[in-house]
A and B are shown apart, each in its own frame.
Chain A
Amino acid sequence: DAEITQSPRHKITETGRQVTLACHQTWNHNNMFWYRQDLGHGLRLIHYSYGVQDTNKGEVSDGYSVSRSNTEDLPLTLESAASSQTSVYFCASSRDTYNEQFFGPGTRLTVL
């Protein structure tokens, strides 16, 4: 069955380290998204991509980057982790504009 996976599921890191969170989908969806969920904020969009080599900033993109070298993967990189980036991160994908997004299981990141 097609699916969307995230790894690792849990990560503890130190301030200043570079961290990469993986997202892989097997639906062959063009659109992929990264969100963070924090108490009192719901889900906020970090970065998104509409296809290979396309990346765009969302509402909370500072300190994060993404790259899209193939259809299946959209890794999220924290260039220099900060305690404010402690959060739960969700990856999602969708086929096209008026279709629902399918979410991965999430990665809980703690920055000490």
Chain B
Amino acid sequence: DQQVKQNSPSLSVQEGRISILNCDYTNSMFDYFLWYKKYPAEGPTFLISISSIKDKNEDGRFTVFLNKSAKHLSLHIVPSQPGDSAVYFCAASYGNNRLAFGKGNQVVVIP
């Protein structure tokens, strides 16, 4: 049973606009959430994380929002750039550093 779900497998967005990726989780014990970015033929690279004691974390163009009551988090990329075209994975853990990953979202940024 998948504990981390990413719907809408693909997203196309114009350069300069906002990209919003959504992630839902089922395990209320999760207390640490991460987003990874993956280019073809490369390993995933860490983007941004958030602890369950926060509801927002920003790092440059990337912001992650966490809504614990809804078991939902989202990643906002503003402004989107062509180099952001990649697959984005949402991941969650509960104190043991074991990550449960979603299936990923393909983002295409159109110049």
Contacts and interface: CB of A to CB of B under 8 A. Distances in A.
Contacts of A42: 4, 6, 89, 101-104
Contacts of A43: 44, 89, 91, 99, 101
B95 A90 contact: no
A2 to B, nearest CB: 14
Interface residues of B, number: 25
B45 interface: yes
Given A102-B46, A104-B43, A94 B97 contact: yes
Interface string A76-112: 0000000000000010101011111111111000000
Interface of B: 4, 6, 32, 34, 36, 41-46, 49, 51, 89, 91, 95-104
Given A104-B43, A106-B42, 8 more contacts: A42-B103, A45-B100, A97-B96, A97-B97, A98-B97, A101-B99, A103-B43, A106-B43
B101 to A, nearest CB: 4
A100 B103 contact: no
Contact of A103 (B6, B44, B95): B44
Given A42-B89, A97-B95, A100-B34, A90 B43 contact: yes
A73 B66 CA distance: 35
A31 interface: yes
A58 B97 CA distance: 12
Contact of A98 (B32, B36, B41, B104): B32
21 contacts: A35-B101, A42-B4, A42-B89, A42-B104, A43-B44, A43-B89, A45-B98, A45-B99, A94-B97, A96-B97, A97-B95, A97-B96, A98-B32, A98-B51, A98-B97, A103-B43, A103-B45, A105-B41, A105-B43, A106-B42, A106-B43
A41 B96 contact: no
Contacts of A35: 101
